[in-house]
Structures are given as structure tokens and as C-alpha cells.
């Protein structure tokens, strides 16, 4: 079978399948008062249990998983979600069925969102719904707190409430029939560094508890009850992988540099304070992208200035004097953050998002800018504006920053005076005018995910056209080249914080084009350092000159794969 690999690694172990038998809903209805009491008692129990799980998760599976459970607590207190349940009870539907009906409405809304991160939150709502109904009907679920041996955990969906109380010491890997790269299971697997595959359609019809399973958390390949010969080959691969991991660890103590000793500036992308640990452990030179929107997505209400300040301060103090580039709010119409009151858009990726949203809601932008300015005194903070498509937008954003500086001065609140300000290069219009933008910026950072999407007019989330999406496309490479050349013409550095920055095949051409900074997820840092140590700068420049003359992305990819293979 095949699914989507979301956490690298090879795994071979016995599987424990989470049974998810259909719930038999009662038809009887006591009274509005009695049914409301059942619902409210269950709500109080589930909320209390979730708060306990959150505290336990901090100690067992890390802060990121705890933050997901904290978001569950917020939802369990959200009257906007609870009121429809009570209204249904008052209309004569029993408590369990009312929870089912009302929450399915919210679940369908999230499942219909184009943004994958928000669509995956539907799985979190299903978890809350399931727990409320089971508590009302007194139905228990599997206890995984004390596994007897190393096990692969498999299910249609592995809910946060299950993983929070799980015996992680005996967790060999995770398999899911549903889910995507931003699902709770994917996040947890990467945090725990265990292999995981999600989106394995039909998985639950093919496996049962006790089956032996081998799978690859990178390719998504799954083998059920493999033959002895297949097991032997797989275990050989696992042994080689373990040896390779041990070699990679050596690079955590070194700065990234090429074979001819040219040092590379390699940084980490983070979505919150808990991501920082691995970035530091792997010897990153700083944080090249702090996605501040995660502060908005995990809360039922807008984060206050103090809450944002606390998050930025924590990262700056932890990383000491190394640079931290914080991207200001990058939320759009496809992410239905209730507190922002965004309307549904026909084409959200071309609509009210990022800096455009900040222009529409300057008070939200000002709160964030004030928090960032106040945090600047705790370290080497840099501010980056996303989705800039015109000089007018850049100038407006810088004016708002100056406005907030004056506010703080009047209030006698300290901040650093010379904070570097840059922009994301993720719209073709900006890459084309890179030289003009560079004259008014301190740095660039190329966001290849959106730059590729907008350059090629391909929605990478659409399966029908996803095969046309590639940052190896010659047109995308030319956009990258224009951004770098424009930055250097004005004497400012140009980095990259998109997915391409951590790709070992892209590395030679990026070195050849003169990229100044490479920022990526923590899991890619050591592999990139290793890849850099095998290549020579002069050879990379010759390669870049050849590749930029090619006409198709297949030709580009083939040339780069050949170059890397010869040096491995």
C-alpha cells in the first residue's frame, strides 16, 4: 500500500489497530433539563481531562502537542460552538445526537477549507465530538498508556486525546488512513522523531492488530506481513539508515561549508517556541523564518500584545545573539480565523491575505508590531513583511512600523532602534522589480512555495494539476536569479525560506547563483550540511550557468540529480 510520508524513517514492528466501532445513538429523550445536564456534565469532564492531558503532554510528547490540546480546551469553552448543541437539545433532540449534529456542521466547514492546515483541524473537532459523545453514553476507548512491546499505532485517525496518554517509549511508528502533512499525527511524529505515513486509503480494511508491518516514512510505502526475504532486505536498509543518522549527528557541531571551505548561513524555520529546540540542537545559525500566524491559528481569540511579546521574547532569549526573522501575520481568506471575521473568498490565494489583510485591519497589525518592537530588546530581531507586491505596500508597512515606534517612545517603552526590515519574495512582480525593492529593504527572503505557485499558475493543493508544480521549473529559477541579483546590486543579502532551501538537489544551483542564507525545517539542516560538504563552489557556478540555459524542469532536475549523485 501507499500513503503520504510525513516523518522520515524506516519502521518494522507489530501493529496495534485502533478499533473505531460505530456509536449506536439512543432515540429516547428524557427532558430538556436532563439532556442539557448530561451534555454539560460531559463537557466539564472532557474539559478537565483535556487540561490534565495537556499538562501530561508537556512532559511526554512536547510543547507542540500540548498546544494542540490547549486549542481543544479553547474550543470546549467556545460558546459559539456550544450554543447550537444546547439549542438542539431545547428543540427535542437528545444530548448525544445534538452533539453529533451540531459539531458535524463545524467539521464540514473546516473540511471544505482550501488551506490544508485549517482543513486538518476538522480531525481535531472530530476528536472533541467523539469524546463528548462517548462521555455522555459512558463508552470507553483503548488504553495505550502501557504498551508491552515496540508497536506501530494505526487508525483511521489517531486523535490528540489518544496520543496525549500514549506510551511513547514503545511507539515504533504511526499509520493513518486519513490526514495530511499538517495533521496532529504528522506534527507529533516529527516531534518524537518516529516514522509516520498518513493518507493511506483503505488501510483499515487491510490490517488487523498483530500484523507485522514494514513501512517507509519518506516514500509512504507500506508492506503488510512481508516475506522473510523482504524483512531481511528491509532490516538491512534500517541498519544502513541508522548508521547514516549517526554520521549526520556529527554535522550538528559544525558550521555548514562547501568542500572548498566556503561557509553557508543555514537557519531554521519555526512555527512556535517549541520548534526551536531542534534548530539549536542541529547548530543552525539563527531563525530564518518565525511563522507568527501560528499564534493566531491555535487560539479561539486574537493573541494580545502581551501574549505575542511572550512568544517572541522566549525565542530571542533562547537563541541568544543569533538573528531571528519574524514574518508578520500571513493569514488569508482560506484560513477562517473566527476572531478576524474573514469572509469566504472565491480565490483566497489572490485575495485578502498577509499584508493586504493587515491594511484592512491595521489595529491587528499594530498590536503585532508593538509586540515585536518591545521584544527586540531581548535579542537580534528582524522583521519581514509577506506577500509584498508593490512599493506602495512596502512603504505603508514601514510607515506603520514607524507609527508604532513613536507610540512606544511616548509611552517610554524601550525597543531597539536599528531593527533590520525585509520582505518575502514570493510574487513574480516583486522578483521582476527586485532591484527597486532592494533599495528600500535591509534583506530579502525568497518564499519558493508561493513563488512557484504564482509563477506557474498552479494550485499545488489541487491533485489534478499538482504534477505541474515544481520549483525546478526554469521560469522559477529565473525568478530566484532575478531576486538574488537585485538584492546584490543594492548591497543587501538574499536568503530563502521556502521548501527549496532544504532540498539537496537545489543546493548546488543556489550556491552557484550566490544565495546568502538557507532557512529550512530543523529536520533538513543536518542533511543540507552534509550535502554542502560534498560540493565545490566553482563547480556550482559552472552548473548554474548550464542549468539556466535549459528549457524544461525535467532537464533541470536530471542535471542536478546527476551532479549530486557523482559527488555522493
Query: Residue 254 contacts by C-beta under 8 Å, 6 or more apart in sequence?
Result: 283, 529
Going by the DSSP 8-state scheme, the letter that residue 300 receives in this structure is S
C-alpha distances in Å from residue 154, one per residue of 6, 70, 293: 14, 24, 31
Compute the C-alpha angle 381/384/389, nearest 5°: 170
pTM, two decimals, is 0.70
Long-range interactions of 111-115: CB distance < 8 A, separation 24+: 113/334, 113/335, 113/336, 114/334, 114/348, 114/349, 114/461, 115/332, 115/334, 115/335, 115/348
423: phi then psi, degrees, rounded to nearest 5: -135, 160
Q: Are 544 and 315 in contact (CB under 8 A)?
A: no
CA distance 326 to 334: 22
Domains and CATH numbers, the chain: 20-137 (1.10.274.10), 151-247 (3.50.30.10), 254-567 (3.20.20.60)
From the number of C-beta atoms within 10 Å of its C-beta (0-12, 13-18, 19+), residue 57 rates as: buried
Distance of CA 274 to the CA centre of its chain: 12
Query: Residue 248 contacts by C-beta under 8 Å, 6 or more apart in sequence?
Result: 526, 527, 530
Query: Residue 260 contacts by C-beta under 8 Å, 6 or more apart in sequence?
Result: 536, 537, 538
What pLDDT digit, counting tens, does each position of 412-443 carry? 999 999 999 999 999 999 999 999 999 999 99
* Lowest-pLDDT range of 259-263, 462-466, 550-554: 462-466
**Predicted local distance difference test score (pLDDT) of residue 297:** 66
Bin 207: left if φ > 0, else alpha if -120 < ψ < 50, else beta: beta
Residue 110: pLDDT band with limits 50, 70, 90 = confident
What pLDDT digit, counting tens, does each position of 352-377 carry? 888 999 999 999 999 999 999 999 99
Q: Is the model's pLDDT at 143 over the cut of 50?
A: yes
Provide the β-strand partners of residue 4.
198
CA distance 61 to 167: 10
Provide, rounded to the nearest whole percent, the portion of the chain with pLDDT above 90: 60
**Predicted local distance difference test score (pLDDT) of residue 333:** 46
CA distance 370 to 365: 9
91: phi then psi, degrees, rounded to nearest 5: -85, 0
CA distance 324 to 27: 57
Q: What is the average per-residue pLDDT within 469-479?
A: 94
**Predicted local distance difference test score (pLDDT) of residue 77:** 87
Q: Is the model's pLDDT at 185 over the cut of 80?
A: no
Q: How many CA atoms lie within 13 A of 111 on its CB side?
A: 12
Q: What is the average per-residue pLDDT within 108-114?
A: 76
Of 340, 422, 408, residue with least CA distance to 375: 408
Alpha helices in 112-221 (DSSP H): 116-137, 160-163, 184-192, 203-206
C-alpha distances in Å from residue 103, one per residue of 21, 83, 171: 19, 11, 31
* Lowest-pLDDT range of 16-25, 259-268, 506-515: 16-25
* Active site residues per annotation: 184, 497
Provide, rounded to the nearest whole percent, the portion of the chain with pLDDT above 70: 91
Q: What is the average per-residue pLDDT within 434-463?
A: 90
C-alpha grid cell, residue 523: 529536520
Of 402, 424, 295, residue with least CA distance to 355: 424
Query: Residue 310 contacts by C-beta under 8 Å, 6 or more apart in sequence?
Result: none
Our CA dihedral for 328, 332, 334, 337, rounded to 10 degrees, sits at: 70
- Taken as a whole, the chain contains a residue count of 568
Q: Which residue has the higher pLDDT, 366 or 281?
A: 366
Residue 61: pLDDT band with limits 50, 70, 90 = low
Q: Is the model's pLDDT at 21 over the cut of 80?
A: no
Compute the C-alpha angle 248/291/416, nearest 5°: 105
What pLDDT digit, counting tens, does each position of 315-357 carry? 999 998 999 999 999 876 455 566 677 777 777 778 888 899 9
Q: Is the model's pLDDT at 65 over the cut of 70?
A: no
Of 5, 20, 17, 19, residue with least CA distance to 213: 17
Highest mean pLDDT among 63-72, 188-197, 233-242: 233-242
Q: Is the model's pLDDT at 386 over the cut of 90?
A: yes
* Lowest-pLDDT range of 89-93, 119-123, 402-406, 433-437: 119-123
Residue in this structure with the C-alpha cell 508491518, named with its chain if needed = 213
C-alpha grid cell, residue 415: 525597543
Provide the β-strand partners of residue 427.
none
Helix (H, G, I), strand (E, B) or coil at 559: helix
Q: What is the DSSP string of 486-506?
A: HHHHTT--EEE-SGGGG-TTT
Q: Which residue has the higher pLDDT, 554 or 249?
A: 554
Q: Is the dihedral of CA 567, 493, 488, 385 positive or negative?
A: positive
C-alpha grid cell, residue 508: 548546488
Provide the β-strand partners of residue 265.
517
CA distance 424 to 422: 7
CA distance 21 to 146: 22
Amino acid at each position: 500500500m501507499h500513503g503520504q510520508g510525513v516523518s522520515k524513517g524506516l519502521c518494522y514492528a507489530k501493529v496495534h489497530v485502533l478499533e473505531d466501532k460505530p456509536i449506536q445513538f439512543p432515540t429516547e429523550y428524557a427532558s430538556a433539563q436532563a439532556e442539557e445536564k448530561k451534555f454539560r456534565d460531559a463537557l466539564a469532564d472532557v474539559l478537565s481531562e483535556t487540561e490534565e492531558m495537556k499538562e501530561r503532554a508537556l512532559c511526554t510528547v512536547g510543547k507542540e502537542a500540548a498546544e494542540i490540546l490547549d486549542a481543544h480546551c479553547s474550543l470546549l469553552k467556545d460558546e459559539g460552538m456550544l450554543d447550537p448543541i444546547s439549542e438542539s437539545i431545547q428543540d427535542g433532540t437528545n444530548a448525544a445526537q445534538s452533539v453529533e449534529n451540531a459539531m458535524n456542521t463545524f467539521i464540514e466547514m473546516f473540511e471544505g477549507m482550501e488551506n490544508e492546515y485549517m482543513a486538518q483541524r476538522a480531525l481535531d473537532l472530530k476528536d472533541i465530538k467523539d469524546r463528548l459523545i462517548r462521555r455522555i453514553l459512558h463508552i470507553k476507548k483503548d488504553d495505550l498508556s502501557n504498551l508491552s512491546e515496540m508497536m506501530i499505532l494505526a487508525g483511521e485517525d489517531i486523535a490528540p486525546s489518544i496520543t496525549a496518554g500514549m506510551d511513547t517509549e514503545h511507539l515504533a511508528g504511526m499509520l493513518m488512513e486519513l490526514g495530511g502533512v499538517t495533521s496532529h499525527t504528522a506534527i507529533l511524529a516529527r516531534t518524537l522523531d518516529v516514522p509516520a505515513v498518513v493518507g493511506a486509503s483503505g488501510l483499515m480494511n487491510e490490517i488487523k492488530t498483530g500484523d507485522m508491518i514494514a513501512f517507509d516514512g519518506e516514500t509512504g510505502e507500506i508492506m503488510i506481513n512481508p516475506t522473510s526475504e523482504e524483512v531481511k532486505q528491509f532490516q538491512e536498509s534500517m541498519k544502513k539508515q541508522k548508521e547514516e543518522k549517526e554520521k549526520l549527528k556529527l554535522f550538528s557541531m559544525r558550521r555548514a561549508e562547501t568542500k572548498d571551505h566556503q561557509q553557508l548561513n543555514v537557519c531554521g524555520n519555526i512555527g512556535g517556541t517549541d520548534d526551536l529546540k531542534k534548530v539549536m540542537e542541529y547548530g543552525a545559525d539563527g531563525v530564518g523564518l518565525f511563522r507568527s500566524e501560528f499564534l493566531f491559528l491555535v487560539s479561539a481569540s486574537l493573541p494580545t500584545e502581551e501574549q505575542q511579546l511572550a512568544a517572541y521574547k522566549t525565542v530571542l532569549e533562547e537563541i541568544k545573539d543569533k538573528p531571528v526573522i519574524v514574518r508578520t501575520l500571513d493569514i488569508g481568506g482560506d484560513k477562517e480565523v473566527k476572531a478576524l471575521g474573514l469572509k469566504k473568498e472565491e480565490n483566497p490565494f489572490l485575495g485578502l491575505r498577509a499584508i493586504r489583510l493587515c491594511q484592512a485591519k491595521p489595529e491587528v497589525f499594530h498590536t503585532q508590531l508593538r509586540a515585536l518592537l518591545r521584544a527586540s530588546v531581548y535579542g537580534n530581531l528582524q522583521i519581514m513583511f509577506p506577500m509584498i507586491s508593490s512599493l506602495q505596500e512596502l512603504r505603508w508597512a514601514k510607515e506603520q512600523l514607524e507609527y508604532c515606534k513613536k507610540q512606544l517612545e511616548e509611552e517610554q517603552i524601550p525597543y531597539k532602534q536599528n531593527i533590520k526590515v525585509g520582505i518575502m519574495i514570493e510574487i513574480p512582480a516583486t522578483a521582476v522589480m527586485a532591484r527597486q525593492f532592494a533599495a528600500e529593504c535591509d534583506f530579502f527572503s525568497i518564499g519558493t512555495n508561493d513563488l512557484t505557485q504564482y509563477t506557474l499558475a498552479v494550485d499545488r493543493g489541487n491533485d489534478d494539476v499538482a504534477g505541474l508544480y515544481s520549483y525546478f521549473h526554469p521560469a522559477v529559477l529565473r525568478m530566484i536569479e532575478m531576486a538574488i541579483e537585485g538584492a546584490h546590486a543594492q548591497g543587501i543579502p538574499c536568503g530563502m525560506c521556502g521548501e527549496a532551501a532544504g532540498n539537496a538537489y537545489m543546493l548546488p544551483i543556489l550556491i552557484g547563483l550566490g544565495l546568502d542564507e538557507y532557512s529550512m525545517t530543523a529536520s533538513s539542516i543536518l542533511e543540507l550540511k552534509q550535502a554542502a560538504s560534498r560540493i565545490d563552489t566553482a563547480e556550482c557556478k559552472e552548473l548554474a550557468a548550464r542549468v539556466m540555459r535549459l528549457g524544461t524542469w525535467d532537464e533541470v532536475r536530471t542535471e542536478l540529480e546527476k551532479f549530486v549523485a557523482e559527488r555522493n
